[in-house]
Structure 1
Amino acid sequence: MTETGRARRIRHTLALLALPLLLAGTSLLGGCAPVVFGGAAAGGVAVAQERTVGDAFDDTRIKLELNGKLLESPREGVFSGVEIEVVEGRVLLAGSVPLPEDRIEVARMAWTTPGVKNVINEIQVGDSSGIVDFAKDAWITAQLRTKLLFDENVRSINYTVETVNGTVYLIGISRSPEEEARVTGHASRIAGVQKVVSYVVPVDDPSRQPQPVARPQG
């Protein structure tokens, strides 16, 4: 892994390690305390996620474990361009790797991580991006996050954004079709965006409901 790639993944891991402390702090304030993440915390904005605190803990654990697998892999250098997002056990893989078998290997690592319910593999094969393209993608992501944060009709904390070579990937939970349409609309109108791919699920989607536990007969 390049020094830049290693540093970025270590920063992600440290941020994830800090998240349980943040969640624990909010739980001490009472069951109705809002959970604050990322840019929302920096901006002094407190909003509640649709996913539960327990789900947020599980998602953090999954991301930590998968990040650890990539760091410890004998071929760690090829995974420096991989980005991971997790929402309610759904793992979105984005970024790029040199070879098709590398793409398959990252997906295998994700599927073998306990708690993973689904893997969305959007990893591109062959890194055609450079420093300039990376900067453009980061700018697009920042622009979209800002637009969502200041849109009163969007609960921005329910959405996670990744941008790779001008393609914006969305994963999260929408409160209504209209809200999701606003999010995708914001993304599509940002200069430099080539395509918007949404893996957002509605808040009442059956896949989000707890599955009944089978009880032993007799």
Structure 2
Amino acid sequence: MKKTSLLIALLTSALLLQGCAAVIAGGAATTAKVAGDRRTFGAQWDDQSIELKAANLIADQKQMADASKISVYSNNGRVLLIGQTPTDAYKQEAGRIVSRIQGVRHVYNELQIGRPVNISVRSNDTWITSKVRADMLGTKNFDSGKVKVVTENGVVYLIGLVTRQEGEKAVEIARRVSGVKRVVKAFEFAQN
């Protein structure tokens, strides 16, 4: 009986410690992201809030949300909308919804008119994003933490608060990746 109780206590402790390790690792990753970003912590917080509000407001438009695949990314109040929606009216409505959110300074409405892409296309997009990120990480004297990379239907979108030189380098890196149809810049340029 004592051995069983001891074994249960040890296993429970091990499981709890694994949870702590995940929390510590997650905290370290968040700290690294905050440190590598030109935006203030407050601006990063505001951007997360904008993304959440936008996603919820779009989801509230049940017909549009059910017929569409819309992703929202915010950087320093500049919001990128990507994905597919069946009508131009839905595209415009999504843009209007997001533009009314407090803190939104600009909306890049890159929604495409059409049916949502299939899982094969999404998998390829994930591979392209991973490859662009890996190439950025492997580029000497380039801080990849300042650029967010997302891919939708083979189109790579680059977002961030960067210098012009960093923006040009990011575009150059993304264009070289196999499978990239086009590169779209949604940068805000920082003063050197």
TM-score by length of structure 1 reads 0.69
1:199 to partner: Cα distance:
1.7
1:65-84 equivalences in 2 (<5 Å) = 65-75=53-63, 76-79=65-68, 81-84=69-72
Equivalent position amino acid for 2:81 in 1: L
**Aligned match of 2:78:** 90
Query: Is 1:157 aligned to 2:145, yes or no?
Result: yes
SS in 2 for 1:162: strand
Give the percent of matched residue pairs that are identical in Structure 1 and Structure 2.
Answer: 30
Is the 8 Å Cα contact of residues 146 and 162 (structure 2) preserved in structure 1? yes
| SS of aligned partner of 1:35 | helix
Q: What secondary structure is seen at the aligned counterpart in 2 of 1:114? A: coil
Structure with greater helix percent = 2
Contact 1:153 1:179 (8 Å CA) reproduced: no
Rounded to whole Å, the distance in 1 between the matches of 2:32 and 2:109 is: 28
Measure, in 2, the Cα distance between the counterparts of 1:78 and 1:152. 43
Of residues 126, 130, 140 in structure 1, which corresponds to 2:128?
140
Aligned-pair distance for 1:170? 0.9
| Structure 2: stretches of 5+ with no match in the other structure | 1-22
SS of equivalent residue, structure 1 residue 59: helix
Larger Rg: 2
Residue 36 of structure 1 is matched in structure 2 by 32
- Cα shift at 1:139: 0.7
Following TM superposition, the consecutive aligned residue runs of length 4 or more in structure 1 with deviations greater than 4 angstroms are none
Q: Is contact 1:159-1:170 (8 Å) kept?
A: yes
1:201 corresponds to which residue?
A: 188
TM-score normalised per structure 2: 0.78
Residue 184 of structure 2 corresponds to residue 188 of structure 1:
no
Structure 1 residue runs without a partner (length 5+): 1-20, 27-33, 38-45, 206-218
Contact 2:159/2:185 (CA < 8 Å) preserved in 1?
yes
* Contact 1:94-1:162 within 8 A present in 2 as well: no
Query: Take 1:51 and 1:67, find their aligned partners in 2: how far apart are those partners?
Result: 22
Alignment length, in residue pairs? Answer: 166
C-alpha distance in structure 2 between counterparts of 1:145 and 1:60, whole Å = 21
The structural deviation recorded for 1:129 is 3.1
User: Could you tell me which residue of structure 2 aligns to residue 169 of structure 1?
Assistant: 157
Could you say which residue in structure 1 is the equivalent of 2:118? 130
Shift of 1:91: 0.3
The one-letter code sitting in structure 1 at the alignment partner of 2:93 is E
